[in-house]
Structure 1
Amino acid sequence: MLSESSAAIVTATLPVVRAHGEAITGCFYQRMFAAHPELLDLFNRSNQATGQQKAALAAAVVAYAEHLTGAGAAPCGPILDRIAHKHASLGITATSYPIVGRHLMAAIGEVLGDAVTAEVAAAWDEVYWLLACELIAREARLYTAAGVGEGASIWRDWRVTEVTPEATDVRSFTLVPADGGPVPGFVPGQYVSVAVDLDGGLGQQIRQYSLSGAPGADHWRITVKRVRGAGGAPDGLVSTVLHERVAVGDTLRLSPPFGEVSAVAGDGPLVLVSAGIGLTPAMSALEHLAATAPERPVVLVHADRDAAAHAHRDALPGLYAKLPHLRLKLWYEETTEDDGAATPTAEVARGRVDPELIPLSPDTHVHLCGPLPFMNQIRGGLLRRGVPVERIAYEVFGPGMLRGV
């Protein structure tokens, strides 16, 4: 709990910090990376370049300060859970927090100048350490649950046993432990981190990919969309390496499974809504339900550019045969006469997903995965139709959060 004196100062200065949040976090990253360039190996350089990372950090710090002072309406727990799982998937430990705190407080002073008195600095330092202690505790529990001992590395070598083209610019990688040990279980909706070394001594980059296969199998599967730069943006660093250079027999460094969201929550009707490569956790959920709860009513709602871009499309008829109460509703931006050839049971429509046309029951649980604008649109439509917020789970690729969460 924030001390009474600090609470008053934070409440008074919160509007200024909120207004300058991205300037503060942008300055923070510059300072920290200048002092500790080795930390660049932990951070997504693409998100740094676009400004997404500094925006996400600013929003998280402000949201936590609002939580401590009672100024925030949205619960802070989902934000902290998401950050903790992401940190655990990167191998971040308690030793990193003093470094972050030192450079964050220096950035606040640099951006806000003389407004940051000793009392203001002390109050915001208290906010930071309350946040840090919450995250350290959550991350410690995650490491324990994953079987990662204190001070141990999260990374394990996995051997690629199959590379499968799935759609335009999409490949699946089937993996087994290189040490011949057991394959850890996971919950549909969880992801693993993949670490790759960049050419030219440029260090390491890490990306998270949802596990797209069935839990309990003797292997893992990740499905990776190659990110091609548009509008002057560079190609994806990690996805390009995976698509161009990884072949059967190679090894990859993977983390244990993390991710706070289950794609199969509840035991009643389930609606899986995805767009593009966001289909991956839904495929894991369908594989899991086919083996464990084949009678469960499920609706898969998926949006894509066209049939050629739709990953795992050819697997849908087989899943439909295993799940007698599965209903498929597909929206393609471009449709052709043969769109139903591989999915004769699907209803295929042209254009964007209309939330009003998603089949719902009073006790439906929903899982969303796709670009943020897509999920915001669908979630808003479902809330207007009366789906309780606690029954709408979602997974985000990247540092953002949905509106109002």
Structure 2
Amino acid sequence: MSFILNFKFMSPLQKELVKATVPILKEHGVLLTTHFYNRMFTHNPELKHLFNMGNQQNKRQQTALAMAVLAYAEHIEDPSVLLPVVDTIGHKHASLHIRPEHYAIVGRHLIASIAEVLGEAATPELLDAWTVAYNQLAALMSGHEQKLYDEKVSLPGGWSGWRPFVVRKKVKESDEITSFYLHPVDGGAVADFKPGQYISIRLFLPEINLQQPRQYSLSSAPNGEYYRISVKREAGSRHPDGMISNRLHDFVEPGDIVDLSAPSGNFTLQAEDGTPQVFISGGVGQTPLISMLETLVRTDATAPITWVHGCRNEQVHAFKADLHAISEAVANVEKHFFYDSAEKLAANEYLGWVSLDQLPAEALRPDAKYYICGPGPFIRQHYRYLIDRGIEQSNIHFEEFGPLSLSVN
């Protein structure tokens, strides 16, 4: 079987064969994707440098892939309905420098895994149908990603692939979060980005003997000179999922060089003139929202801005002084902080988890744009609250860190 190069459209019979696998995917999807990843990394171990091995251990990547394959099978008659998801995954792939040749490798192992997991149920006709289906999806994805690469290199200071940056400054923002100021080693400009986007950083992890990429939101407004990321230490973590963050804290110092990909992501500021903005974050989820807020206040936006943030206590609350200074200097910015524990509370500070019904009624305007970032349950809770209050779905934007797995609809 060949992949991607021999793209052809699916026949009606092939579509029916793919749809017939939907019940199997619903029941055994993660089993299939787990087998697939084990098979692929056995035959192509070089790809371990490309994938987040932490998400392999916690099964988030296997689950995300199973959900994506299921969604594709369910919508095989009209894959265009998946374009928003394709765009989100495409940005992630472009950040990791996924290329068409990687799709060819994935395709071989995915079809082989279907055959091995389904056994006699994997008829030649079914495998042919899924081969055509996969080629169709791969062509859609790689075509979209090429457009993203083209957009990146067309920007002043833009690039594709990996580019070396030097850490010029390392600033402790709280007991858990430290910011890194990253400047290009070549001395050139860095491309502007849309507030809310992220970069990938690549480091070698001696503990697992692999290069590993991780995505971090850009936590400052675009400036043309450097990128800033603000990273949370994962206390006591020996898991690959926290090793990059902790290595940045413990071993990466000013003068060290790291590889970065160009900014990516579609969770971005929607700042139409006169539109109120509401930012809702939990923990380190505030980092992309800081970039959005800084950008808004630098453009002298006069529409109301509401900032809502929750964390465990004041000691782990990064950027609190910055937020205070902004709200003091900019009359249209109103901030609200929630702490799990606190010795004393100031004005607009609350004890407990973020609870939007404790805010003044005027803080949650029906015509505002809403941005939610934090853990999956945090996003789901506040998304539902806003929907129940009559906020239009199109005005609520959210981002979950890690593989795309959250469904709030």
Q: Does 1:49 align with 2:57?
A: yes
Gaps of at least 5 residues in structure 1 are 341-345
Q: Deviations over 1:190-215 (max 9, x none)?
A: 00000001226802011000000111
Change (3 A) 1:282 1:404: closer
Change (3 A) 1:143 1:234: closer
CA distance in 2, matches of 1:108, 1:362: 48
Which letter maps to 2:212? Q
- Checking the alignment, whether the CA contact within 8 Å between 1:189 and 1:261 is kept in structure 2 is yes
Which letter maps to 1:197? F
Change (3 A) 1:29 1:234: closer
Q: Deviations over 1:258-301 (max 9, x none)?
A: 00111344440111111000010111111101111431211111
Percent identity among equivalent residues? 40
- Greater shift in the superposed pair: 318-327 or 167-176: 318-327
- Greater shift in the superposed pair: 355-364 or 310-319: 355-364
Q: Does 1:239 align with 2:240?
A: no
- Greater shift in the superposed pair: 270-279 or 257-266: 257-266
Matches within 5 A, 1:3-402: 3-69=11-77, 75-147=81-153, 154-199=161-206, 202-229=209-236, 236-267=242-273, 268-337=275-344, 339-340=345-346, 347-357=348-358, 359-402=363-406
Q: How far is the alpha carbon of 1:21 from its aligned partner? A: 0.6
Q: How far is the alpha carbon of 1:362 from its aligned partner? A: 2.1
- Checking the alignment, whether the CA contact within 8 Å between 1:266 and 1:365 is kept in structure 2 is no
Q: How far is the alpha carbon of 1:2 from its aligned partner? A: 4.1
Q: Deviations over 1:122-168 (max 9, x none)?
A: 1222221221111101110010011089xx85111111111000111
Aligned to 1:343: none
- Checking the alignment, whether the CA contact within 8 Å between 1:365 and 1:392 is kept in structure 2 is yes
CA distance in 1, matches of 2:260, 2:99: 17
Change (3 A) 1:2 1:383: farther
SS across alignment from 1:138: helix
TM-score, structure 1 as length reference:
0.92
Change (3 A) 1:162 1:331: same
Which letter maps to 1:32? M
Q: How far is the alpha carbon of 1:322 from its aligned partner? A: 3.8
Change (3 A) 1:48 1:200: closer
- Checking the alignment, whether the CA contact within 8 Å between 2:165 and 2:257 is kept in structure 1 is yes
CA distance in 1, matches of 2:61, 2:314: 33
Q: How far is the alpha carbon of 1:17 from its aligned partner? A: 2.2
- Greater shift in the superposed pair: 271-280 or 384-393: 384-393
Gaps of at least 5 residues in structure 2 are 1-8
Change (3 A) 1:125 1:229: farther
- Checking the alignment, whether the CA contact within 8 Å between 1:286 and 1:319 is kept in structure 2 is no
- Checking the alignment, whether the CA contact within 8 Å between 2:21 and 2:73 is kept in structure 1 is no
Q: How far is the alpha carbon of 1:366 from its aligned partner? A: 0.7
Change (3 A) 1:159 1:233: closer
Change (3 A) 1:379 1:146: same
SS across alignment from 2:278: strand
CA distance in 2, matches of 1:229, 1:121: 45
Which letter maps to 2:351? R
Residue in structure 2 matching 1:403, options 399, 404, 407: 407
CA distance in 2, matches of 1:233, 1:142: 32
- Greater shift in the superposed pair: 200-209 or 232-241: 232-241
**Shift >4 Å, 4+ stretches:** 232-235
CA distance in 2, matches of 1:386, 1:2: 41
- Checking the alignment, whether the CA contact within 8 Å between 2:191 and 2:224 is kept in structure 1 is no
- Greater shift in the superposed pair: 349-358 or 109-118: 349-358
CA distance in 1, matches of 2:357, 2:382: 9
Q: Say what the alpha-carbon RMSD is for the aligned residues.
A: 2.1
- Greater shift in the superposed pair: 117-126 or 178-187: 117-126
- Checking the alignment, whether the CA contact within 8 Å between 1:28 and 1:103 is kept in structure 2 is yes
